[in-house]
Amino acid sequence: MTTELRRLRNYIDGEFQDAADGRTTEVVNPVTGEAYATAPLSGAADVDAAMAAAEAAFPAWRDVVPAERQKLLLKIADAFEERAEELIAAESENTGKPLGLTRTEEIPPMVDQIRFFAGAARMLEGRSAGEYMEGLTSFIRREPIGVCAQVAPWNYPMMMGVWKFAPALAAGNTVVLKPSDTTPASTVLMAEIIGGVLADLGHPKGVFNVVCGDRDTGRRMVEHPVPAMVSITGSVRAGMQVAESASKDIKRVHLELGGKAPVVVFEDTDMAKAVEDISTAGFFNAGQDCTAATRVLVHESIHDEFVAALAKAAAEIKTGAPDDEDVLYGPLNNANQLAQVSGFIDRLPAHAKVETGGQRVGDKGYFYAPTVVSGLKQDDEIIQNEVFGPVITVQSFTDEEQAISYANGVEYALASSVWTKDHARAMRLSKALEFGCVWINTHIPLVAEMPHGGFKKSGYGKDLSAYGFDDYTRVKHVMTSLDG
């Protein structure tokens, strides 16, 4: 007896639609490794239709006053709260995330972030008008960019979707959003909710569109002539391809491309607190977080003690099914990711030591044990490249200078943290660390009011905050003669 797979559909111009050519791809639940749904494998015709809908809706949406855009976003936030359990169920089926943690750690921030950008819609500020040349007054207009093509990742399908559509809509842009091919379910549900609010308020149907598909679908979106901006959260390789493609017609590009966060632990830290917080920040969401505390640098005087304590804490962390209230994290997202994480451990050099973990858990789904690896050198593969799994590496350093050198000695530059009771040292490190965020005696908290985004190969542009809002606007200088 076979179970009929649920059919997910694109959302284009206010209507749910199959791919024009009828092609689909199976969507797999990472807890079981079995398919539970099909989603459109969208081609050129589907991308064309979504872009046409967004382009047609843009003039009217651009001219909606900020207070009305705020109203839309506030109603979307309310609707997300009202339908939270549906969103949680869809996200958990997408990703295998624990239901309880999705309820407490994702829904409230998402709703708060939408409400923040609802307020930002009414804060389109520019420099004050003035006479910078005799007889002429200059002022600044902040305007929406146009149609935004947005590609969300599979590690946080809902939340990253919010980070993309909320500032874009708040600024007066229209959106075509593509979820990952492995996690479309919650995005399709968000489209249903957002589309309902747009209809209730009488706004154009094409303001928000969702196109499901694979990398080729995303490539077609990036190459399409309509979007004025492309935003992607993904791998460095994907970001490079997007930037290269977008350069051909000078699209604006917004890239968040992963990280390799250094966690610098000095000898005067509160070790018990550091171990507890770092293990949680490293293994939360199975380490599938661009800011995860995955690369720990510990002063040599406390290295051995710290490694033992971290390994003990990791061994006590549990992974398992979404309805198990005792688990910190669920499975890796897909079979390819399981293979990638396993490969890093399989290829460890002889001088490395697996302190705990290092193996798959169970015989179905994509679960991986919390893993701590010590004895590593700065040029080791697992230090230089993003694992994106429940693996924390530990290195030893001798002094502040070496700690900074090790921390900065990777191609990523998204997030970092410093653990010390010495305020002056913390300030020196916060200046020296070349990362978009530096936490002090904590790791991973984010707030809507502060920017998230990195340097180097972690990309450019900011999510969240007024800076993230500004990225979805363009600046126009207007000058008028005072002579009439």
Q: So which residues are the catalytic ones?
A: 256, 290
Reading the block at residue 39, the tokens are 């989603």
- Cα-Cα-Cα-Cα torsion 12, 17, 19, 22, nearest 10 degrees, comes to -170
Residue keyed to tokens 């309509």: 226
Q: Please give the C-alpha separations between residue 210 and each of 8, 50, 339, in angstroms, as whole numbers.
A: 11, 8, 29
- Burial (CB < 10 A; 0-12, 13-18, 19+), residue 78, is middle
Q: Which long-range contacts (CB under 8 A, 24 or more apart) does 217-220 make?
A: 217/41, 217/42, 217/43, 217/46, 217/47, 217/178, 217/181, 218/151, 218/178, 219/245, 220/43, 220/44, 220/47
Give the β-pairing of 371-374 and 353-356: antiparallel
Cβ-based neighbours of 405, under 8 Å, separated by 6 or more:
none
- How many Å apart are CA 232 and CA 222, to the nearest integer? 10
CB atoms within 10 A of CB 201: 12
Paired with 373 in beta bridges are: 354, 393
CA neighbor of 169 nearest in space, from 153, 150, 196, 192: 150
Reading the block at residue 243, the tokens are 């930037």
CB atoms within 10 A of CB 101: 19
Strands (E) across 429-472 are located at 437-440, 455-456, 459-460
Question: In degrees, to the nearest 5, what angle opens at C-alpha 483 toward C-alphas 481 and 484?
Answer: 85
Q: Please give the C-alpha separations between residue 224 and each of 55, 58, 108, 204, 368, in angstroms, as whole numbers.
A: 12, 16, 35, 22, 39
CB atoms within 10 A of CB 405: 14
Reading the block at residue 108, the tokens are 């409230």
DSSP state for residue 360 in the 8-state scheme: B
Reading the block at residue 292, the tokens are 């995860």
CA neighbor of 407 nearest in space, from 460, 446, 456: 456
